[in-house]
Chain A
């Protein structure tokens, strides 16, 4: 950022000197500017560089795959088993838990305990308890670290996603993928550093706004790029008939030259972003068709994921996530929308897990087989959990819950076959080693070699960070 500020200063001075008739000043500055501009042009053409001095210490992983189960999966039907919950099934929820607590749709209703709607199984050598909705997760019990004491601050979907993505419920802050590509740069100049894909299936899929992968006050080039999971991954990625690749190159070059010409006059940094975006778009006309062409994937790999190319499923997105990871993409964010199980929880858990359980196992297994789990961090979880109290909007279900829920992490040496923290005897409050969203962020940044307290940008007089103002803690105990 410093060099850009310097350049803006120079440009302002040059305009001033030219306009005030001090032509000699402009002439002297010209050669200096030429050097800076050619450096800038190189940066525009090539891969996005990281900040000087980053990573702060040797990173454990190079990239993150974030599997967001949008809607808020029930921790009580996935990873958090509480015998007491079954004992009190159907009985009134003790008020000691709920008095004065934030409640979403159950507000003003009679609160009754809902026992587990499935059985749990001690899985793997570690014996981690995982529900029977997730037989493929049971197979990977020894690879993952389940964090059972997550808590967040937002009880409705959109603000909760915003909180999970940006560390703030107020929209307009950079998302974690933007922060990470801003800090570390990108290992590819063929694809964006931050790619998002979504899939749907389950109960009442909530929309996901594109600002969830926004760039906030960071330059626009760090924002996430959403690939369509159906049809062309990027609209109009194929050039129209009658235009060759060489011609397209000439057109893009002409646009670049004219934009640079404009930049010299008006020095709007967003023009630089556009120049870089056109360059990236041109490269993506080759790299994206190659990325999504799954014809060279062996049959057993497609079967392992359960992916049918172009079907827009979570399975196909998982396979594409591996391919994006192989190609140097820094942050890959998959959303599966359909986990909002206010009612019909059993039916919809079967659907959601049916669509995501095996592909998640396949992604982990595939990365492991390729040695990529050593330098890839996978994070699984929703924007919140679900209440120990029952709700029945068409069969038993559960309401939104923010005081305790489960997520898991793996990769980069994170201790597999372990759990971290715990909720109380009814799965309501995170009581043992509570993990706030900012602690999750701090741990993720730490895995990438970033000290969360030193990745900040001054905006309106404040040093803004992903982790916010309050102290954030790295979960040292789960690191290998």
Chain B
């Protein structure tokens, strides 16, 4: 959220490199884009849900982070971190 650039592509690319040591291909980009838009729309309409999601865990959230955006990327990270490619070596 703070280390990658501001736009979606830069953020996704950063996330992929940290988790998978490679960038996303066009299929993956498209799929994450679609999910980004859907999740963002949901948390924009339900800001209280974004807040609830951010009470999970003990990490204290930097004040400068925008809550809706953070909740959306939390969801995208859940996808990325749960991929077979992420959790196994082969």
Residues of A within 8 A of B38 (CB): 250
Residues of B within 8 A of A257 (CB): 31
Interface residue A231 (Cβ < 8 Å from any Cβ of B): no
Pairwise interchain contact B31-A258, C-beta atoms closer than 8 A = yes
Q: A242-B71, A251-B78, A254-B35 are in contact. Are A261 and B56 (CB under 8 A)?
A: no
Q: A247-B39, A247-B75, A250-B35 are in contact. Are A278 and B50 (CB under 8 A)?
A: no
Residues of A within 8 A of B27 (CB): 261
Pairwise interchain contact A278-B82, C-beta atoms closer than 8 A = yes
Pairwise interchain contact B52-A241, C-beta atoms closer than 8 A = yes
CB distance from A352 to the nearest CB of B (A): 40
Residues of B within 8 A of A259 (CB): 83-85
Pairwise interchain contact B84-A241, C-beta atoms closer than 8 A = no
Pairwise interchain contact B53-A243, C-beta atoms closer than 8 A = yes
Interface residue A56 (Cβ < 8 Å from any Cβ of B): no
Pairwise interchain contact A240-B83, C-beta atoms closer than 8 A = no
CB distance from B49 to the nearest CB of A (A): 5
Residues of B within 8 A of A261 (CB): 27-28
Q: How far is the CA of A196 from the CA of B54 in the complex (A)?
A: 34
Interface flags, B42-59, vs A, CB<8A=1, else 0 = 100000011111111000
Residues of B within 8 A of A251 (CB): 35, 75, 78-79, 82
Residues of A within 8 A of B52 (CB): 241-242
Task: Select which of A244, A250, A255, A262 is within 8 A of B82 by beta carbon.
Answer: A255
Task: Select which of B31, B55, B82, B83 is within 8 A of A241 by beta carbon.
Answer: B55
Beta-carbon contacts under 8 Å, B24-82 to A:
27-28, 31-32, 35, 38-39, 42, 49-56, 71, 75, 78-79, 82
Pairwise interchain contact B53-A240, C-beta atoms closer than 8 A = yes
Interface residue A322 (Cβ < 8 Å from any Cβ of B): no
Chain B: residues with Cβ within 8 Å of the partner, total of 26
Of B55, B79, B88, which is in contact with the most chain A CB atoms at under 10 Å from its CB?
B79
Interface segment, one of A21-29, A157-165, A268-276, A374-382: A268-276
Q: A-B pairs with CB below 8 Å: how many?
A: 60
Beta-carbon contacts under 8 Å, A266-317 to B:
266, 268, 270-271, 274-275, 278
Q: How far is the CA of A446 from the CA of B86 in the complex (A)?
A: 43
Interface residue B90 (Cβ < 8 Å from any Cβ of A): yes
Pairwise interchain contact B83-A255, C-beta atoms closer than 8 A = yes
Residues of B within 8 A of A244 (CB): 42, 49
Of A243, A262, A268, which is in contact with the most chain B CB atoms at under 10 Å from its CB?
A243
Pairwise interchain contact A274-B84, C-beta atoms closer than 8 A = yes
Residues of A within 8 A of B35 (CB): 250-251, 254
Residues of B within 8 A of A241 (CB): 52-53, 55-56
CB distance from A224 to the nearest CB of B (A): 21
The residue in chain B whose Cβ has the minimal distance to the Cβ of A268 is B90
CB distance from B85 to the nearest CB of A (A): 5
Task: Select which of A250, A262, A275, A278 is within 8 A of B85 by beta carbon.
Answer: A262
Pairwise interchain contact A255-B79, C-beta atoms closer than 8 A = yes
Residues of B within 8 A of A243 (CB): 49, 53, 75
Interface flags, B2-36, vs A, CB<8A=1, else 0 = 00000000000000000000000001100110010
Pairwise interchain contact B54-A242, C-beta atoms closer than 8 A = yes
CB distance from B79 to the nearest CB of A (A): 5
Q: How far is the CA of A244 from the CA of B38 in the complex (A)?
A: 13
Residues of A within 8 A of B90 (CB): 266, 268
Q: How far is the CA of A258 from the CA of B75 in the complex (A)?
A: 15
The residue in chain A whose Cβ has the minimal distance to the Cβ of B51 is A242
Beta-carbon contacts under 8 Å, A66-96 to B:
none
Q: How far is the CA of A251 from the CA of B81 in the complex (A)?
A: 11
Of B38, B83, B84, which is in contact with the most chain A CB atoms at under 10 Å from its CB?
B84
Residues of A within 8 A of B84 (CB): 259, 262, 268, 270-271, 274-275
The residue in chain A whose Cβ has the minimal distance to the Cβ of B81 is A255
Pairwise interchain contact B49-A242, C-beta atoms closer than 8 A = yes
Q: How far is the CA of A189 from the CA of B56 in the complex (A)?
A: 30
Residues of A within 8 A of B39 (CB): 247, 250
Task: Select which of A247, A254, A268, A271 is within 8 A of B31 by beta carbon.
Answer: A254
Pairwise interchain contact A270-B88, C-beta atoms closer than 8 A = yes
The residue in chain B whose Cβ has the minimal distance to the Cβ of A243 is B53
Residues of B within 8 A of A266 (CB): 90
* A-B pairs with beta carbons under 8 Å apart, 23 shown: A240-B56, A241-B56, A242-B49, A242-B51, A242-B52, A242-B56, A244-B49, A247-B39, A247-B75, A250-B35, A250-B38, A251-B79, A255-B79, A255-B82, A257-B31, A258-B83, A261-B27, A262-B84, A262-B85, A268-B90, A270-B84, A274-B84, A278-B82
Known: A241-B56, A258-B83. 10 other contacts (CB 8 A): A242-B54, A244-B49, A247-B39, A250-B39, A251-B79, A255-B79, A255-B82, A259-B84, A261-B28, A274-B84
B residues apposed to A, CB below 8 Å: 27-28, 31-32, 35, 38-39, 42, 49-56, 71, 75, 78-79, 82-85, 88, 90
The 4 A-B pairs at the shortest CB distance, nearest first, are namely A242-B53, A242-B52, A241-B52, A240-B56
